Amino acid sequence: MSHRAAADAASPFPPDIAFALLPPGGAEPPLLPEERGLLSARALPERRGEFARGRACAREAMARLGFADAPRQPILRAGARAPRWPEGLVGAISHSHGWAAAAVSWRRLYTGVGLDVERPHSAKPSLLDRIGLPEEADWLDSVPPAGRPRAFALLFSAKESIYKALNPASGVFLGYHDARVAFPQDVADATAKAPESAQRAESALPIASGRFRWHLLRDSGPAFPSGYRGDGGYVLFAERVITGVWVRA
């Protein structure tokens, strides 16, 4: 499978959102000079590496989208940590223990794009209370035990993707209980599908993919009132989950 076909298979997004994924390994990609100052001089090598790999994915996604001069476009920062995309673009970056990914599209098509990569986690009760609503905890209970770490990661990841899609546009902070995520019934079986040993731990070959729905339980600025509904996509791997959220313009 070509690099491009592999990225397309791993994308949780519709085709008009360009996606790039970098599994662990290989040399650290170069940062552009304008980006080097965004990292603290005391940043640990792990942080430097994930920052550089996220920026490399962003440029690859921009090139796939057909954005002019993508390899020379620095991705600076808007506000505290959100990426500042070149004029006309909207997107998101995520990294997780060696994996990095980015998604980019045209601002005339999308108001917000969110992306998150997570490792499977066990849902300790205190963590589940912090992240999940009662209906989401019930859904997690319905998942076969072997699938719960991936299912919990999906829930957590979906919420971070919602935040990344909305926060840059709204400027409003949302907590984990401010949005409700609903996965279709077949996700429960998919999360348990691949026995851990049958897949290489770091394999970027997807096991399953699909869509989910979400809605807000509080206002996130005038454009996103309480009750606002949106779409998302997910892709499951042996040792990662990826979610994406998009808000059409």
**Residues in touch with ligand COA (CB under 6 A):** 51, 54, 81-83, 92-95, 116, 159-160, 162-164, 167-168, 174-176, 178-179
Q: Give 7 or 241: the residue with its C-beta nearer to ligand COA.
A: 241
Contact yes or no for 38/77 (Cβ under 8 A): yes
Neighbouring residues of 50: CB distance < 8 A, sequence distance ≥ 6: 95, 100
Rounded Cα–Cα distance for residues 246 and 233 (Å)? 9
Q: Give 95 or 148: the residue with its C-beta nearer to ligand COA.
A: 95
Q: Give 47 or 144: the residue with its C-beta nearer to ligand COA.
A: 47
User: Chain-centre distance of CA 54, in angstroms?
Assistant: 12
Q: Give 132 or 147: the residue with its C-beta nearer to ligand COA.
A: 132
| Least spacing, CB of residue 209 vs ligand COA, in Å | 19
| Least spacing, CB of residue 245 vs ligand COA, in Å | 10
Q: Can you tell me which residue has the tokens 């949780």?
A: 12
Neighbouring residues of 68: CB distance < 8 A, sequence distance ≥ 6: none
Contact yes or no for 9/242 (Cβ under 8 A): no
Q: Give 5 or 41: the residue with its C-beta nearer to ligand COA.
A: 41
| Least spacing, CB of residue 170 vs ligand COA, in Å | 10
| Least spacing, CB of residue 176 vs ligand COA, in Å | 5
| Least spacing, CB of residue 43 vs ligand COA, in Å | 10
Q: Give 189 or 226: the residue with its C-beta nearer to ligand COA.
A: 226
| Least spacing, CB of residue 130 vs ligand COA, in Å | 11
Which stretches of the chain are DSSP H helices? 3-9, 33-36, 45-65, 125-131, 134-141, 148-170, 186-193
User: Chain-centre distance of CA 161, in angstroms?
Assistant: 5
Q: Give 193 or 218: the residue with its C-beta nearer to ligand COA.
A: 218
| Least spacing, CB of residue 74 vs ligand COA, in Å | 12
Q: Is 234 exposed, middle or buried (0-12, 13-18, 19+ CB in 10 A)?
A: buried
Rounded Cα–Cα distance for residues 116 and 156 (Å)? 9
Rounded Cα–Cα distance for residues 185 and 188 (Å)? 6
